[in-house]
Amino acid sequence: MEDDKNMNTRSQHIYVMRELTKREIKRKYARSYLGVIWSVLFPLLNMIVISIIFSYVFSRNIEKYPVYYYTGYLVINFFTTATTTAMTALKDNRNLMLKSKLPRRTFVLSRIYTALVNMGLSSIAYVIVCIVFRISPSWTMFLIIPNIFFLTLFAIGVSYALSIWFVFQEDSKSIYENILSVLTTFAALFYSVDRLAPGVQTFISFNPVYTYVHIARDCIMYATISEPRYWIQMAAWGVGLFLIGKVIFRYKENRVMEKL
Amino acid sequence: MYEKKYSSENKDRIRSYFFVIRQLASREIGSRNKGKRLGQLWNVITPMVSMLTMSILFAFVFERDFGQFMPFVFTGTIVFGFFDGGMSGCLGSLSGNKNLMIRTKIPRNILVIEKLYVAFIQMLFSIIGYVIVLIATGTQVGFFAFLIPVDVVLSAVIILGLGKILAVANVYFADISYFYKIIMRFVFYGSAIFYEAEILSPVMQQIIMFNPIYLSISFARSCILYNSMPAAGIWIRLIIYAVVVYILGTLIFKKGSQDVVAKL
């Protein structure tokens, strides 16, 4: 009986989350003609643009440059969108939160879910690009699943913490913007790591965002399994941040309501 | 009261426009910084951080001296920030001010100029950081730095011209904002912000000479960093750009901004 009830509320929450996500996507493309197609088209055009400019500069040491860029773009863009939109989730949904009894994390999670859906849509063009550039299928491609799983955990943890922080301090948005710009600049989106200064290489290798980019490229583009240290980092960043975020969220969420 | 205003001299009207622009701008900047303890200081910090990360990363890749590379990159990011801030502001200046346009008789022009003004103010803050970097790296600034206002004015005219076109286009075709983002991505990486144009493929080197942001950046670099007169080709192109874009923008804006409210 208890279990049943639990299941019911859970499925209700998932339903609400879906509706919130739908609303968000609709709102995002409200006035546009092409609508959701932009989610597919945008990264594709982005990749074409970067490839035109840089394939000459960087192509000498990066094979299949467009795929290289696209893989990184999908990962980095997911993380950026998820965390920056989730950061303001609590504040944006203030009214809804006061009126309903929904668990507060639903609002944060729905932003993450939106970013996931968006990444899913962008992947449609990605598959085509992979085929065009003759990326041969390999079993290692399945390794993208744990990679995305831990990436999502990582994004959820960071978002939990950020959404709370944003309620208490408005400067947090600017601070995070700067942190994010460091994290994404040092994530080897459009250049290769080999040509960088040794110190910078070490720094990049510890960057959580780069970790997920690196594993994604290895298992899809190069059909290899990344070095064990990246797998350890992948899981550690994911689980670690998820737990930290969750603890922060649990202890502070009641004070958030007072503050709002 | 109103009649008096309308019958007054042209000069007075222009003065009142300036007043409105300043009011709108301070409201916009205020709401952007609302609740932030460091407020405007973020406009100094954020450009510095992005410049530093880029410099650290690419000074080594392109084998450049770090001390020289920092002001090189910073010149690029500030000019780009001015263009992007101004144009993306203009892009939403009509579609985002529907209520204001319905309720008041505010000339449409003012909405666009206000966005340029905000971008200009933001740039002034990043210039504080720029001056600090110039001093810290011991960059010698010479006589030709006095040409900078010319660059700023030419850039502002180009921003205004393109901004007017974008503002009108966005009313009729909202997808333009996505195209804008893509194009600006292209322009960002194609403005030689963190590299010298010479490393690009020959074709790209030709194309980049048609990029007004690159022209403006290389103008600024010659006069501040190299203390030399910007090349004639850069002068000519920038001036032609400014004149053509401004005329075109004003014409399109005049035609297109009339029944904007009905369209929105």
Per-position DSSP letters for A120-147, written without gaps between them: HHHHHHHHHHHHHTT----GGGGGHHHH
The larger pLDDT score, comparing residue B6 to residue B118, is at B118
Written as six digits, the tokens of A152 are 């999502």
End-to-end CA distance of chain A: 36
The larger pLDDT score, comparing residue B76 to residue B35, is at B76
Please report the pLDDT score of residue A4 as a whole number.
62
Q: Which residue's entry shows tokens 């300043």? A: B22
Interface of B with A (CB under 8 A): 34-38, 42, 45-46, 49-50, 53-54, 56-57, 60-61, 95, 173-175, 177-178, 181-182, 185-186, 189-190, 195, 199-201, 204
- ipTM of this predicted structure: 0.85
User: What are the distances in angstroms from CA A162 to CA A153, A173, B200?
Assistant: 14, 9, 40
- Number of domains composing chain B: 1
Please report the pLDDT score of residue B214 as a whole number.
95
Cα dihedral A183/A185/A189/A190 (nearest 10): -170
End-to-end CA distance of chain B: 31
Mean pLDDT throughout B16-22? Answer: 85
Q: Determine the residue among A28, A33, A48, A54 to mutate to test chain B binding: the one whose Cβ has the most chain B Cβ atoms within 10 Å.
A: A54
Q: Do B60 and A34 touch (CB under 8 A)?
A: no
Helix (H) or strand (E) holding A232: helix A228-259
Written as six digits, the tokens of B95 are 């579609």
Q: List pLDDT tens digits, range B119-170.
A: 999 999 999 999 999 999 988 888 898 999 999 999 999 999 999 999 999 9
Q: List pLDDT tens digits, range A95-148.
A: 888 888 788 888 999 999 999 999 999 999 999 999 999 998 899 999 999 999
pLDDT category at A7 given cuts 50, 70, 90 is: low
Mean pLDDT throughout A49-74? Answer: 84
Mean pLDDT throughout A193-203? Answer: 88
Residue % of chain A over a pLDDT of 70: 97
Q: Do B42 and A174 touch (CB under 8 A)?
A: yes
pLDDT category at A52 given cuts 50, 70, 90 is: confident
Q: What is the pTM of this model?
A: 0.89
φ, ψ of residue A197 to 5 degrees: the values are -65, 145
Task: Give yes or no for residue A224 having a pLDDT over 50.
Answer: yes
Q: Do B54 and A185 touch (CB under 8 A)?
A: yes
Q: List pLDDT tens digits, range B185-204.
A: 888 988 999 988 888 888 88
Please report the pLDDT score of residue B1 as a whole number.
43
Range of the domain at B258: 2-263
CB-closest option in B34, B53, B61 to A170: B34
Q: Do B61 and A178 touch (CB under 8 A)?
A: no
CA A235 to chain centre: 15
CB-closest option in B50, B185, B200 to A56: B200
With left for phi above 0 and alpha for psi between -120 and 50, is residue B141 left, alpha or beta? beta
Q: Do B204 and A177 touch (CB under 8 A)?
A: no
**Least CA distance to A192: which residue of chain B?**
B61
Which residues on chain B are in Cβ contact (under 8 Å) with A42?
Answer: 178, 181-182
Q: Do A53 and B200 touch (CB under 8 A)?
A: yes
pLDDT category at B7 given cuts 50, 70, 90 is: low
Cα Dmax for chain B: 66
pLDDT category at B243 given cuts 50, 70, 90 is: very high
Which residues on chain B are in Cβ contact (under 8 Å) with A198?
Answer: none
- Residue ranges of domains in chain A: 2-259
pLDDT category at B40 given cuts 50, 70, 90 is: confident
Q: Which residue's entry shows tokens 């001299």? A: B9
- Specify the range with the lowest mean pLDDT, choosing from A11-20, A194-203, B122-131, B215-224: A11-20
